[in-house]
Structure 1
Amino acid sequence: MTTALICIDMQMGMADRIAAGRPQANPMAEAHVAALLALFRARGLPVVHVLHDEPETPFQRHLPAGAPMPCALPVTGEAVLWKSRSSAFAGTGLEALLRGQGTQRIVVVGAVAAFCVTSTVRAAFDLGFQVVLPGDALLAFDIPAHDGGRIGADEVLRVTLSLLGADFATLVTADQVSGVLAA
């Protein structure tokens, strides 16, 4: 079974949030993303980078915040797609690219767990892809609560993974992905 790695929104704007002290879960997420990129590259498996490019935000391809983070720099031969919506499938050609490669299963890493990662995982499931989600290779931040206050980053990630793991993805750790690829 062909498996591709989808690396979502690992952009300098995320690094800026972290550097500014924004509460986050998974302080090792960047290292896990880099390790998974290395694993897929070493095995000659497809890697696709999907980056956010949205007017009126810092996440634009021509701005510093839109550049890829050092841990997730694309290399020659890897597809780089730009999106202006939450899901990596919305208007990017990602589905056609994956189907053209014969991809049936995807491993999704990146940012932000409760937003673009969630949208992408749900869309992938709806399109018939098997989804593997290494929860420790996701960036997750605190968010404002609908009824006031804030929801901590760890709780946001816990709820996000619980929802996605219930129906849409197989939850693993970054260290377990090599075993998934062997299966």
Structure 2
Amino acid sequence: MSSSALLVMDVQNAVVHRYPDPDYLPRLGAAIATARAAGVPVIFAGVGFRPGFPEVSPRNRMFGAMAGRATGGDDRAMAFHADAAPAEGDPIVIKRRVSAFAGSDLDMLLRVQGIDHLVLTGIATSGVVLSTLRQAADLDFRLTVLSDGCLDADPEVHRVLTEKIFPAQADVLTVAAWEPKVSNG
């Protein structure tokens, strides 16, 4: 029997602010509500660093500009957006790089709970979703991507990934078409 989890990635205030789409958060909220109604665990993954960013190398092109700063960032900016926030008891995974697996305990959390199927959502399609999908596929998880539960700054990149790249390793559905299985166990 397969056990699924909905993975909500990088839907943090600072990230959502950079990707304005008034329809995105309501769609994502619908996916979260659908998962909860079906008894599917919802796991939140977000990027976070210690004060001074000791986890960040100046050689890292994405995060390197942060290296050496005195603070770990504004807690409000790194908090999950209120329209897609964790509920009491939802696991929260803090990651140190783009993939939800990088520098986090996500793999251990999933394996201990017997989860072998991940349903991926998040911002950005070309960032956390792509990186997590690739790593999860290499770890032999079954995968589903909710195409409109993901968002990217470049609509064409989003389209190419969800229509041409992701289907090689995952089922790709819309939030409305996703019907989670109740039999998680």
Give matches, 1:65-76, under 5 Å.
65-76=77-88
Q: Runs of 4 or more off by more than 2 Å in structure 1?
A: 60-64, 180-183
| TM-score of the superposed pair, with normalisation by structure 2 | 0.80
Mapped pair 1:51 → 2:51:
no
Q: 1:132 aligns with which of 123, 144, 147?
A: 144
| 1:16–1:65 CA contact under 8 A, matched in 2 | no
| TM-score of the superposed pair, with normalisation by structure 1 | 0.81
- Find the counterpart in structure 1 of residue 125 from structure 2: 113
Higher relative helix content? 1
Distance in 2 (alpha carbons) for counterparts of 1:6 and 1:97: 12
Distance in 2 (alpha carbons) for counterparts of 1:31 and 1:99: 30
| 2:44–2:92 CA contact under 8 A, matched in 1 | yes
Q: Structure 2: state its 5+ residue gaps.
A: 54-65
Task: Give the total of aligned pairs.
Answer: 162
The 1:61/1:130 distance shift into structure 2, 3 A limit, reads farther
Q: Structure 1: state its 5+ residue gaps.
A: 142-152
| 1:134–1:171 CA contact under 8 A, matched in 2 | yes
State the Cα deviation string for residues 128-175 of structure 1 (Å, max 9, x = none).
11110010011110xxxxxxxxxxx2101012212111x211111101
- Find the counterpart in structure 1 of residue 110 from structure 2: 98
- CA shift, 1:182, in A, is 6.2
SS at match of 1:65: helix
State the Cα deviation string for residues 55-108 of structure 1 (Å, max 9, x = none).
328xx5643221111221101111001111111011211111111111111100
SS at match of 2:36: helix
Say what the alpha-carbon RMSD is for the aligned residues. Answer: 1.9
Give matches, 1:12-31, under 5 Å.
12-19=13-20, 28-31=23-26
Which residue identity is paired with 2:44? H
- Find the counterpart in structure 1 of residue 177 from structure 2: 176
Q: Report the identity percentage.
A: 30
- Find the counterpart in structure 2 of residue 146 from structure 1: none
| 2:38–2:182 CA contact under 8 A, matched in 1 | no
- Find the counterpart in structure 2 of residue 154 from structure 1: 155
Distance in 2 (alpha carbons) for counterparts of 1:33 and 1:61: 25
